[in-house]
Chains A and B, each alone.
Chain A
Amino acid sequence: MLSSAVYTKGYVGIFVFSLIINGTMAVSYDIPGRCLGLISLGHAVFFGLGAYGFGIAISKGLSFFPSLILSVIVSFLGALLITLLLAGLNHGYYSLSTLGILIIFQRLFETTEGITGGSAGLYIPETISDLQCHLLAAFLLLATAACHALFSRSRWGLYSKETEASEEAAEAIGIPTRTVKILCLMAAAIPACMAGMLHLARTSHVSPVSGFSLTLSITALLASRVVPVRGILGPLLGILLITAAEEIIWTKFEGFNHAWFGLILLGAALYQGIDVRRRKTISAVVENPLSR
Chain B
Amino acid sequence: MIQVLISGLFLGGVYALLAVGLSLAFGIMGVLNLAHGSLAVLAAILYQKTLVHYPFSPWTFCALATPIFLGFGLLLHLIIVAPFRNLSLTGSLAASLIASLGLALILEDLFVWWQGWEPISTHVTFPTFNLAGLKIPGLRAILLGMAAVTIGLSTLFLKKTDPGRSMRALAQDKEAASICGINPGFTSMSALGLATILAGLAGIFYSSLYPLGPREGLDLTLKSLFIVVAGGMGNLRGPAVAGLVLGFIESFAGILFSYTSTDTVVYSLLVFYLVVKRGGRQQ
* A positions within 8 Å CB-CB of B: 37, 39, 41, 85-86, 88-97, 99-101, 103-104, 107-108, 110-111, 214, 218, 221-222, 225, 255-259, 261-270, 272-274, 276-277, 280
Contact with A along B5-33 (1 / 0, CB 8 A): 00000000000000000000010001010
Number of A-B contacts (CB under 8 A): 154
**For A274, what are the chain B residues with a Cβ–Cβ distance below 8 Å?**
83
**Which single member of A93, A108, A269 contacts B274 (CB below 8 Å)?**
A93
Tell me, in angstroms, the Cα distance from A94 to B93 when the chains sit together: 12
Asked if B161 is at the interface (CB within 8 A of a chain A CB), the reply is no
Given contacts A85-B275, A90-B281, A103-B263, contact A269 B258 (CB under 8 A): no
Q: Name 30 interchain pairs, CB-CB below 8 A, sorted by A.
A: A39-B90, A89-B275, A92-B30, A92-B93, A93-B278, A93-B280, A94-B280, A95-B97, A96-B32, A97-B274, A100-B270, A104-B264, A107-B267, A111-B260, A111-B261, A255-B109, A255-B113, A258-B105, A259-B108, A261-B102, A261-B105, A262-B102, A262-B103, A262-B109, A266-B99, A266-B102, A266-B106, A270-B83, A273-B85, A276-B87
| Cα A88 to Cα B275 with chains together (Å) | 8
A94 CA to B280 CA, complexed, in Å: 7
Give the interface SS of chain B, mostly helix, strand, loop or mixed.
Answer: helix
Are B261 and A107 in touch, CB under 8 angstroms?
yes
Can you add 16 more A-B contacts, CB < 8 Å, to A97-B271, A265-B98, A273-B95? A39-B90, A39-B93, A85-B275, A89-B281, A91-B90, A94-B280, A96-B274, A97-B274, A107-B260, A107-B264, A218-B98, A225-B98, A259-B105, A267-B102, A272-B84, A276-B86
A96 to B278, CA, bound (A): 12
Chain B interface bracket (under 10, 10 to 19, 20 to 34, 35 or more): 35 or more
Contact, CB under 8 Å: A273 / B280: no
Does B103 contact A280, Cβ atoms closer than 8 Å?
no
For B76-99 the 0/1 string (1 means CB < 8 A from A) is: 000100011111011101111111
User: Please, how many angstroms separate the alpha-carbon atoms of A261 and B113 in the complex?
Assistant: 16
B110 at the interface (CB under 8 A from A): yes
What's the minimum C-beta distance from B95 to chain A, rounded to whole angstroms? Answer: 5
Q: B222 contacts which of A37, A39, A99, A268 (Cβ < 8 Å)?
A: A99
The distance in angstroms between the C-alpha atoms of A259 and B109, with both chains bound, is 6
Please tell me if the beta carbons of B271 and A269 are within 8 angstroms of each other in the complex: no
